[in-house]
Structure 1
Amino acid sequence: MHTPSEIHRRLNNRRFTVASNTQGLSGAGTVFHYLVDGDAISGTYQGGRIRLGKQVGRVTGVDTIELLFQCLTLDGELLSGWSRGTVGVDPAGLTTLSFEWGWLSGATGGGESSYVELSSR
């Protein structure tokens, strides 16, 4: 088992917004909220084109995670997919997430995306 303490500190009960996601549905108005319990990760997201989204995943390394996600869009589409990501820190000290992802149901393809923590400062 990996020690998830740094990821817990960086992700638990924090919110993120999209920095880059050219092939995906989430955009500037989408907010992601993560919870971490040991090596288990859960999350919700909504905004922009996303009416409601849920995530479940796990810590896979010192700075890596993997997630399964599903969402309902404002157009009534039901989609699901996978992602593998790296947790980092930007020069301002905010947590960053960088993902490689793909669709499992409801759409085809995939891409890369990045997110930055919403500052509570």
Structure 2
Amino acid sequence: MQLPHNQITERLHNRRFTVAGNTHGLSGTGTVFHYQVEGNAITSTYQGGRILTGHQVGRVTGPETIELLFHCITNEGEILSGWSRGKVGVDGAGRTTLAFVWGWLSGAEGGGESSYVELVE
């Protein structure tokens, strides 16, 4: 489903997401992402699971696309950073979904694909 540019803000701002699939990444069960959007600028904090604390900064790049840089500290004290390019969508239940292609910049090698779904309370 294609979203108008301004709907990315509505779909991300002040919403929380959990991991739906991330076989090669660090985030997983228990990791929660909390997004904020101001204009085309995106920020988030994340923690839980293997992540002690993490941050993202990025921007809206198209009607349904975003790009982010991220960094985190793991529970073991590792510092890692990377990049991601993602697509914002909506599932059949009306929850916002995120699908990313990503890679490590520092602290690890490789990359992968990951998906996230909005936490609805």
- Runs of 4+ more than 4 Å apart: none
Q: How high is the sequence identity, in percent, across the aligned residues?
A: 72
1:61 corresponds to 2:62: yes
1:35 corresponds to 2:53: no
Equivalent in the alignment of 1:78: 79
- Distance in structure 2 (CA, Å) of the matches to 1:101 and 1:75: 22
Deviation at 1:57, TM superposition (A): 0.0
Q: What TM-score does the superposition give when structure 2 sets the normalisation length? A: 0.96
- Distance in structure 1 (CA, Å) of the matches to 2:33 and 2:49: 12
1:90 corresponds to 2:91: yes
Equivalent in the alignment of 1:99: 100
The number of residues matched between the two structures is 118
> Aligned-residue CA RMSD in angstroms?
0.8
Unaligned runs of 5+ in 2: none
Deviation at 1:4, TM superposition (A): 3.9
| Equivalent pair of 1:4/1:38 in contact (CA under 8 Å) | no
Deviation at 1:67, TM superposition (A): 0.1
Equivalent in the alignment of 1:44: 45
Deviation at 1:5, TM superposition (A): 1.2
| Equivalent pair of 1:4/1:39 in contact (CA under 8 Å) | no
Unaligned runs of 5+ in 1: none
Q: What TM-score does the superposition give when structure 1 sets the normalisation length? A: 0.96
Deviation at 1:10, TM superposition (A): 0.1
- Distance in structure 2 (CA, Å) of the matches to 1:4 and 1:13: 17
- Distance in structure 2 (CA, Å) of the matches to 1:4 and 1:72: 32
Equivalent in the alignment of 1:9: 10
